Structure 1
């Protein structure tokens, strides 16, 4: 009651204090209550106390949130990669760095300092954010400790006071301020370049007075995110002189990466944003033994890295590569050779860079993926004329534009650990899918999007663990199998752009669940078609 009274009815203070109490022993609660000041502002005291109770390894992880915009949903995967590149995450025997970083995040969530805003279909957090009061606290604390500094468009670097920061975030900085960066921030370890207005700077017009490139070479940088600079088709060559770089994110439409990229011998994460096509990597990429994540992001599906295979020794591997966005020629003989060089891959997006199509029934090639024993998430796009041998441990599978016959679904249904299946446009073609008994034993999430299926037949007690079914623009599908009414875990069925008869069948499933005493199933209907 003493602690509750100290909260003074402020909801955020209640949450923060509860987070502290949840991680300290009950016999320490009185000591904590006695430590609460009656004069200190209740706006800052809860956060100060919560911060002081954090383990030392979590403090920089929390302060790092100050680098992002207030009220911004932060992609969790990117955040965890940044923490790892900064060296915040401690190695633990039996756990990967990615898993440890996720544990750190969930610890902050359990202390009510971070909020998960979107969940992954496979479980875990997809995006997160912090309360505006926590953001304000992180900025002030980070500045006072020389951990992080924010520079805005009207900032003058020469007037900067305080400890020389190791991390710098720039928002719309003036060109002349770039010249001063090397002088005033010689020990900079991390640089972010952001825009408040979500438009791209043009790198070509930003030059220093001596005509040299606009980015001053800060040789101690470990993290460089230039996501709001648009490099066009040219790779920024000054980046290759940053020998200590662990994390690199750039924005542009470059077709290839220079061979000098292997100067970045410590590089762990390489992200290319905004690219609409394949990014060709040089043979020298195999020299970077620390690479863990090679990823491209764009609204277009057809983007990825082209890994070279010619003149590469058979023994050469990217042993530590965990995440890869791969662009390939679907009829190249080297595709399987590339896959054999990725023994530790856990997340793979594989897209094709050629549009040749064969008859959907003419499957005369096999993509062998079952040797990738660590692979958990797989996305295959535009592999027409292929059959697939899937990894046994696969948990998430997304397919699109592969033109597979529905008879090939049985190979997927046999995967014992599959939890998420997304069938996007033309992944499977044909009017009828008839399932077999015992398929999909652990599937939690199933999505159909823009498929031409008309008839879906499922035996009794199918999808026993299914929790969510999503049907987008499957206008020809006449009904959802009534056997789904026996799914005790089913929480949501969402339909958009489906016909009235399919909607009616879903409502009958809901009625069946209600008749058995279950009120948990939610139905969401959007934009039905005739």
Structure 2
């Protein structure tokens, strides 16, 4: 973690050395420290990670020195800000920085020792360099993550499991109404979980079942945690079950599955006893429900699968092994003979185990394709297998080998995955926010931090260290996770690096621990941990995955240098105002019922970048809050996410002081009835995602909200705009026809606009649009006729609740369409035959449409099959199965 600690310290120093409107020079000690940090960052950027053993001691010294320096600096900044009187609260950041800098020589003699230590390390580095004991990276040693090859390995990594995938899918969909258990059995890391995961996200399987859930049992089986896991998977991660008894949890699971065709994945079942404890949860609805059970024990598999034989996974033969490795590393490219010879030597060291091939493939894919490097890998994968069932090898050794090849800038991002619970899928957007808030991302003047973080994520996916668990319609990563063995390594390595630990397993004393995750019951644990130390705790991030209704904000404030507080699973009764004293906070995610007002004191958190507020179980259209005018003073905000909130219009008179343009703001969700004047547009030059809603009271003209100014949000890529009337107004006025959208828009959701289909050309002309969702009479009229040249890149189209009767389309109008969803289109006569001629079309989904619409869809499917396109499918959804909220 030497690189991550230096990177974080460097950003702290940048903030001090380059404040806005600086009027005096910072103390020379800060500049000298900054120079040492910059040199060491440069060194770690360019030296080959393969040689990390030679400088591992130096890296430990760098890490500890950087941690200590940042603790000293941020502690002093925190003390200075908190000690300022109320009359000075509105002073600018530059004034505060100058006051802080003027006292460095009085307060921080300890920094002199740290600078001496970093100077000593720098001298040793230079000496090693001059003696050629270390070498710089060659530019070609690592392919850029944004290359045209990006993400190919993660999508093709199941080449060796294609036959198994097809066989399991046949078992799951065969015409037997009785509840069946399909057991997948095999040695550790043979690919059981990978196969089950591919089946779970397969669109054919997903559409065959009403409801799906995944739970990981593991060797340390706890019935209550498994029940919670099932409910969270069935109902979503925000299901609050923290205080429910085992009996109540079991009852809720059974209710959720009653009369539903379900698919349940029970991953890693160790004993017959475990299976016997959970099997009673799953009712036999006599409708073709299925359970997939993965296990290493053949007896467990036989006991559970009494209707069909256990499906055994075995090693890949040498041909399949080489085909898998070749596909991951070279794709369709020609393989040089010398690399093929060495590649086949490598696969012999992997013994046909898909997991080993998976990691080696990711490693070779990102590296320079030279014989020397292939030889290096062949001689260093470092284990021999005599009997894999007796664990004659160590998976962690291979993961460690892959980790040691990682560029330094990726290591903290990778180890952060150990924060997540077992088999936890995290949304890409949230992961990137957390990486950024934790300062793992190196700033780049030409790109935003989020863009750099996207590149880091793609790089780790290419290396097969992070798994993509769900893709968006536009082909982007939606959710991701890590293999359980990878997570074990991340936990082990992160604790070794004094980086992360669960409170339950926290060592008695850890001077420099930076990340703490609370994976189990909050009660007592956080209390014991927080009370062990004084208020100078070095913890920078706390992530809660346990559910609780306790208000432990007074304990959280003991972690006074906290940057990240991710506590969506904790139900606070009110906003925990104590946390506004944690002036180093950059990321806050909380669940509480916003009782109409939001504290103005939030503006004290001048470092805050992400603010996420979820009303939890009180979520409804009535859980609305009024944001304080002071929020316009928080110029560092990058992501502001609420469920419903009123954002005041920014004026000097309203705020009563200085406010700053939101130049960093990229996400704004969800504000109500906000006016998009030209002045506001200028204040949001980098907005990329916007979720807004408007409530028509029957008196306000739509034009007063200035929708035509949307076109000036030049960086906007995602827009969700909802219009609705108050309950006493039957029909609202349609949106003005002069509304316009910015050209970079990729995803657009419109609801309740009531605009004529004749005006659809405004949307169709968006050259980058990939996803379009039209809900609740977004467009009205009986006929929609598309024009040539429109919707050139559109991949997904949803039409929900419309009076449309006739739709005129031919294959030239939607040339990129992959998914078409028609829901509650009661008046539509049929799907145009031209839709079926679109070569890219993969799926038509129907819900509550006329029989004639279903018939036309079946005709399209028959035509596709006659042309040899057996991958195309028509999905008929019941009313209760439809989710239109996303």
Is structure 2 residue 689 aligned with structure 1 residue 347? yes
SS in 1 for 2:457: helix
Counterpart position of 1:174: 523
Counterpart position of 2:447: 95
| Higher relative contact order (Cα pairs below 8 Å, separated by 6+ residues) | 2
Is structure 2 residue 366 aligned with structure 1 residue 23? yes
Deviations 1:307-341 (A, max 9, x none): 443435998421111110142236xx676654442
Q: Distance in 1 between matches of 2:843 and 2:678?
A: 39
1:115 to 456, 467, 479: 467
Q: CA deviation at 1:56?
A: 0.7
Q: Distance in 2 between matches of 1:504 and 1:379?
A: 32
SS in 1 for 2:347: helix
Q: Distance in 2 between matches of 1:516 and 1:348?
A: 42
Deviations 1:272-299 (A, max 9, x none): 12354333222221212111110125xx
Counterpart position of 1:245: 585
Q: Distance in 2 between matches of 1:421 and 1:190?
A: 37
Counterpart position of 2:567: 226
Output aligned runs, 1:418-437, within 5 Å.
Answer: 418-437=769-788
Is structure 2 residue 626 aligned with structure 1 residue 286? no
Q: CA deviation at 1:306?
A: 2.1
Conserved 8 A contact 1:47-1:137: yes
Conserved 8 A contact 2:425-2:481: yes
Q: Distance in 2 between matches of 1:436 and 1:13?
A: 52
Is structure 2 residue 623 aligned with structure 1 residue 272? no
Is structure 2 residue 847 aligned with structure 1 residue 496? yes
SS in 2 for 1:407: helix
Aligned structure 1 segments of 4 or more residues deviating by more than 6 angstroms: none
Deviations 1:233-276 (A, max 9, x none): x2111111111111111111123322221211111111112354
Counterpart position of 2:641: 295
Q: Distance in 1 between matches of 2:784 and 2:699?
A: 22
Q: CA deviation at 1:485?
A: 2.5
Cα 1:49–1:364 shift into 2, 3 Å: closer
Q: CA deviation at 1:520?
A: 4.8
Counterpart position of 2:599: 258
Q: CA deviation at 1:12?
A: 1.1
Segments of 5+ residues of structure 1 without an aligned counterpart are 208-212, 298-302
Aligned positions, number: 504
Segments of 5+ residues of structure 2 without an aligned counterpart are 1-343, 385-391, 725-731, 881-886
Conserved 8 A contact 1:114-1:129: yes
Report the structure number with the largest CA radius of gyration: 2
Q: CA deviation at 1:357?
A: 5.1
Is structure 2 residue 710 aligned with structure 1 residue 356? no
Deviations 1:43-92 (A, max 9, x none): 21110111111111111111101111110111110000111111111123
SS in 2 for 1:442: coil
Q: Distance in 2 between matches of 1:304 and 1:61?
A: 32
Is structure 2 residue 395 aligned with structure 1 residue 51? no
Counterpart position of 1:403: 754
Cα 1:238–1:363 shift into 2, 3 Å: closer
Q: Distance in 2 between matches of 1:421 and 1:188?
A: 43
Q: Distance in 1 between matches of 2:633 and 2:879?
A: 54
1:160 to 502, 508, 511: 508
If each structure's strand is expressed as a fraction of its own residues, which one has the higher value?
1
Counterpart position of 1:210: none
Q: CA deviation at 1:18?
A: 1.3
Is structure 2 residue 537 aligned with structure 1 residue 192? no
Q: Distance in 2 between matches of 1:251 and 1:407?
A: 43
Q: CA deviation at 1:509?
A: 2.5
2:721 to 380, 385, 394: 380
If each structure's helix is expressed as a fraction of its own residues, which one has the higher value?
2
TM-score by length of 2: 0.54
Counterpart position of 2:197: none
Q: CA deviation at 1:396?
A: 0.9
Q: CA deviation at 1:9?
A: 3.0
Conserved 8 A contact 2:768-2:793: yes
TM-score by length of 1: 0.87
Output aligned runs, 1:60-139, within 5 Å.
Answer: 60-139=412-491
Cα 1:363–1:168 shift into 2, 3 Å: closer
Conserved 8 A contact 1:290-1:320: yes
